[in-house]
Structure 1
Amino acid sequence: MAKTSVSLEMLMQQALTGDKRAYADLLRDTAQFLRPYLSKRLSAASDVDDLLQEILVSIHKARHTYDGMRPYKPWVFAIAHFRLQDYLRTYYADQLRTATELGELENTLPADVTNSDFSYESISGEVNQLPEKQAAILSLMHEEGYTAKEVAAKIGMKESAVKVAAFRAYKILREKLSK
């Protein structure tokens, strides 16, 4: 690892003196170690390529600020980090501009989004096929409007047991009705 860093610093020194081949090698090697860094942070490969090109241009423009007495990679990662932040800031600002306003959605949604195609009456035949206690609990809760606490007091069960029985009944009904 230290050998790579040293060679990158040497390539940068040579590039700063005007060695075009060293500069091309430096940019190629830089792109190689930046690509995985960007791929972990961006989902689209095209975004990675675009941002990598922007970073390489930024490195080119800022190459005069490189201090040959310091390591190369931290300098490059600092530039990459700031370019990534700029890119993400722009990306999310665009997402906000194109986001749909909730007020616009209200006109397209039905008035009652919680309205179901099923009513207790339409599935009462299925409810009556449930075990006796589950059927009684659902009948009291949905047909007569009692709460779980009131149903528990009425049939002599604990409230938590009524809720568990109702949950199991709902699960059975969901399976039957989805078929």
Structure 2
Amino acid sequence: MAVVVREFDWSILMARAQAGDREAYRRLLDEITPYLRSLAAKAHRDRSDVEDTVQDVLLTVHSIRHTYDPSRPFGPWLVAIAHRRIVDRLRRQGRTVQHETPLPPGHETLAATEANYLEDTVDSMAVREAVEHLPPAQREAIKLMKLQEMSLRQAATVSGMSIAALKVATHRGLKRLRKLLNGSGGES
């Protein structure tokens, strides 16, 4: 009996929502969400899949709410949408699982964090040392734009250089850094 009453209430709320009653629409969505969650939980084990499915259903309800006929029961209309979205997600998961191959840690280039630590330290030290050998304008442009990751506008404000000058200095600085790091050390 409670399900029939709830479904009747949902039918009324949807009819009001179709007429433009925002509060009725908000209440409808609030009331159907736990029900949709229970339907999705029957098909999915992962909580994030359940929530994603509920959101898919709610978005579909929103986009096709104009197709609901108020003279018909709301429950079957909603369940049909929910089942389609649940099946869609299961199909996507099935396709993904078929095409993915999990890689064991042995396939990683440097699985041990200790190996990455020394490499990162040496590279960053070499880069910072090379940056110090750049001409002043290029050094400042590289530090602001690349190391501190400022936008052109921010770097122009901080440095007092024009945006065009910053672009040129950054380009030349990167070119010079490549030469310094590759060992040729030529001027540009």
**TM-score bin, normalised by smaller chain:** 0.5 to 0.7
Q: Distance in 2 between matches of 1:16 and 1:40?
A: 30
Shift of 1:99: 3.5
Identical counterparts, % of pairs: 36
Among 44, 47, 68, the alignment partner of 1:45 is: 47
Out of 37, 61, 80, which is 1:35 matched to? 37
1:81-120 deviation per Cα after TM superposition (whole angstroms, max 9, x unaligned): 11111111111100000147xxxxxxxxxxxxxxxxxxxx
Whichever residue aligns with residue 26 of structure 1, its letter is L
Query: What are the within-5 Å matches in structure 2 for residues 99-178 of structure 1?
Result: 99=101
Q: CA RMSD in A?
A: 1.1
Equivalence for 1:93: 95
- Measure, in 1, the Cα distance between the counterparts of 2:5 and 2:98: 45
Gaps of 5+ in 1: 101-179
Which protein is bigger by CA-based radius of gyration?
A: 1
**Equivalent pairs, count:** 100
How much does 1:32 deviate? 1.5
Q: Structure 1 residue runs of 4+, over 6 Å off?
A: none
Provide the secondary structure at the position in 2 that maps to 1:70: coil
TM-score w.r.t. length of structure 1: 0.54
Per the TM alignment, residue 58 of structure 1 is displaced from its structure 2 partner at its CA by 0.2
State the Cα deviation string for residues 27-86 of structure 1 (Å, max 9, x = none): 111111111111111001111111101110000011011011111011011001111111
